Structure 1
Amino acid sequence: MNRNIAAGARWIVMIVFAVISLFPIYWMVMSSFRTHEEIFKYTTLSRELFIPVNWTLQNYKDIFLDPSKPFGRYMLNTLFVAVIVTGFGLAVNSMAAFAFAKLRFPFKKILLTLFMSSLVIPYEVIMIPQYLLMRDLDWINSFTALIVPQIVWVFGIFMLVQFFADIPRDILDAARMDGASWMRIYNKIVLPAAVPALITLGIMTFLNQWDSFLWPLVVINEEKKQVIQVAISSFQSLRNISWGKILAATSISSIPILVVFLFLQRYYVQGITMSGVKG
C-alpha cells in the first residue's frame, strides 16, 4: 500500500512539473492565433487565458505572405545550414574524439588539455578574429561562413571522448592484429557502437544551429540568406513589437526541433547516460 501511495505521489509531482513546463509552449501556440490586442488582454485565470476568444490565422498569413521577409526561405536556409553542419560535424568531431580516446601519439594529453581549455573562452572573444578571417577569405554574406566555422565543436569532441574511452582496448588491438587499419576499425567497430552518442551529439548540434542568432546576424547581410532566429528578431523594433508575428514564427520554428526530439529521444537519453555527461 505504501509503495502504491509513493508511486502515485511521484506521478502527481511529475504531472504537475510537466504542466508547469509545457504551459509556456501551450500559451505561445494559442496566442499565435490571437489578435494583437487580445494577446495581453487576459491575465487572470479564466477560459480566455487558455483559449483564444477570436481565432485568427492573420499572424501566420503575415509571416508567410510578406514578400520583403520570406519566412519560408528563412526556414529553408536554417534547415540547410543545420543539416550540413550536423553531418560534417558528426564526421569530423567523431574522428577527432576517436584519435584522442584510442590512438597513441606524442603529447596527446597536453594537446587534449589545451583543446579542452578552449571551452572556457567566451564565444564573443573569438567572434571578431573569426569575422576577420571570414572577411579575408571573402566568405562574408555566404553560407560557407555559417557552416565551416561551426563544424568543429569542442564540447562534442569532449562528449564523444568520454564515450569512446569505454570501448575495450582489447577489441581494437585484436582488430589491429587481424590487419585492420585504424580507419576500418573506426568505421566497422567504433561507429556502430557509438550510435546513441552520435545521435545525441547530432540532436545537440542541430539544435544549436537552428537557434543560432549572433553569428548569422554578424556575417550575413543579404535578407534572403538570413536564418530564422534573426528573422524572428526583425519583427520587433524600438517603436513597435509585432507579438502576433513573433509568436506565430516561434511556434513554426519549434516544430522541427520537437519532431526530431520526439523521434530520437530514446537515443538521446541513452547517449547522455552512456557518455557520462551529466547536467
Structure 2
Amino acid sequence: MYGLLTMLLMILIALISIGPIVWMAAGSLRPYQELFKYTSIELHLLVPVEWTLKNYQNVIYNPRNPFLRYIGNTFVVASAVTALVLLINSMAAFAFAKLRFRGKPIVFALFMSAMIIPGEVMLVPNYLLMHDLGWLNSYKALIVPSMLSVFGIFMLRQFFAEVPDEMMEAARIDGAGLPRTYVSIVLPAAVPALITLGLITFLGNWDSYLWPLIVINDQSKQMIQVSIAAFSSNQGTNWSNVLAANTLSTAPILVLFLFLQRYYIQGITMSGIKG
C-alpha cells in the first residue's frame, strides 16, 4: 500500500513538472489567436485545434533576430565554460582533497565563504574588471568570469576525499607522478560528480540572461535568452513566437539530460552521502 501511494505521488509530481513544458510545446504549434482561447482543463488546452509551424518559421528565419546563430553562440560559450570548469575546478578540488600545503584549511575556508556572496553583488566589480581588461563585447567576458565554481570545488573535493590514500601511495611507488595519479586514479573515481557538475554548469550558462545582457552589445554575439526577450517590444509580445523560441532552446537541454540522467542522479546521491 505504501509503495502504491509513493508511486502515485511520484506520478502526480511528474505530471505537475512536465505540464508547463507540454503546454509550451503545444502553444508553439498554435496560431496566436488560439493561444489563450482554451483556459479550462480540457483536451484542447494541451492539443492544438489548428496546427501550424509558422511560429517556428518566424523564429528561425527572422533576419533581425537570427535565432539559430544565437543558439550556436550559446552552445560555444556554454561548452567552453563547462570544459574549463571541469578542468580547473577538478584540479583545485584534488589539491584540497589530497595534497598537503601550508594554510590549506584557511584557504579552503575562504573559498567556501564565497558561496554566501550573491551573484548580483559581483556584477558591478566583474563588469569594471572586464572594462579595464578591454573584454567587453567579447566571448572572453562571458567565459573567463565563469571558470571558477566554488560549489564545484566543494562537490568534487567530497568525491576525491573518498579515494583511498593507499591507491595514491601505490601509484607513487610505481613511479606515477601527481599528474598521472590525478588523471588515471582520481578522475575515474569521480565520473558521476564530473558529469553532474558539467550538466549544472552547462545549464547555468545556457540559461544565462543578465550577464550577457550587460557585457554584450553586438547582436551577432548575443546569447539565446537575451534573444528570446527581444521578441517582446513596445508594440506588444507575440507569445506564440516566444513559446516556439523557448521550445527550441529547451529541447537540447532535455535531450542532454535524458542521455546523462543516470550519472546526474548518481552524482547528486553520492555527493549527498559523502557530504
TM superposition score normalised by structure 1: 0.95
Q: CA RMSD in A?
A: 1.5
> How many Å apart are 1:193 and its aligned residue?
1.1
Contact 1:34–1:244, Cα closer than 8 Å, also in 2? yes
Matched, 1:231 2:201: no
Q: Post-superposition shift, 1:123?
A: 1.1
How many Å separate the matches in 2 of 1:25 and 1:214?
Answer: 23
What are structure 1's unaligned runs of at least 5 residues? none
2:167 to 154, 165, 171: 171
Which residue of 2 is the match for residue 200 of structure 1? 196
Specify the alignment match of 2:157 in structure 1. Answer: 161
Q: Which residue of 2 aligns with 1:25?
A: 21
Letter aligned with residue 268 of structure 1:
Y
Which of 39, 43, 61 is the matching residue for 2:39? 43
Identity value in percent = 56
Structure 2 residue aligned with 1:187: 183
Match of 1:101 in 2: 97
**Shift of residue 239 of structure 1?**
4.4
The farther-off stretch of 11-20 and 242-251 is 11-20
Instruction: Tell me by how many angstroms 1:162 deviates.
Output: 1.0
Q: Is the 8 A contact 1:172 1:185 kept in 2?
A: yes
- Cα distance in structure 2, aligned partners of 1:97 and 1:144: 24
Q: Secondary structure at the match of 2:232?
A: coil
CA contact (8 A) 1:93 1:157 kept: yes
- Could you tell me how far 1:140 is from its partner in structure 2? 0.6
Q: Note the C-alpha offset of 1:198.
A: 0.6
CA contact (8 A) 1:272 1:278 kept: no
C-alpha contact (below 8 Å) 1:196/1:267 kept by paired residues = yes
The CA distance in 2 between the partners of 1:12 and 1:265, in whole Å, is 22
* More displaced 10-residue stretch of structure 1: 183-192 or 39-48: 39-48
| Consecutive unaligned residues in structure 2, runs of 5 or more | none
Give the aligned partner of residue 264 of structure 1.
Answer: 260
CA distance in 1, matches of 2:245, 2:193: 31
Counterpart residue type for residue 149 of structure 1: P
* 1:34 alignment partner in structure 2: 30
Q: Secondary structure at the match of 1:221?
A: coil
Post-superposition Cα deviations, 1:165-210, rounded to whole Å, max 9, x if no partner, equal 1111121122223332111110110011111111111111111110
How far is the alpha carbon of 1:75 from its aligned partner?
Answer: 0.2
Alignment of 1:111-122 (within 5 A): 111-122=107-118
1:224-256 deviation line (CA, Å, top 9, x unaligned): 100100111111134411211110001010111
Tell me the residue number matched to 1:60: 56
Q: Distance in 2 between matches of 1:17 and 1:194?
A: 30
The residue type equivalent to 1:67 in the other structure is: P
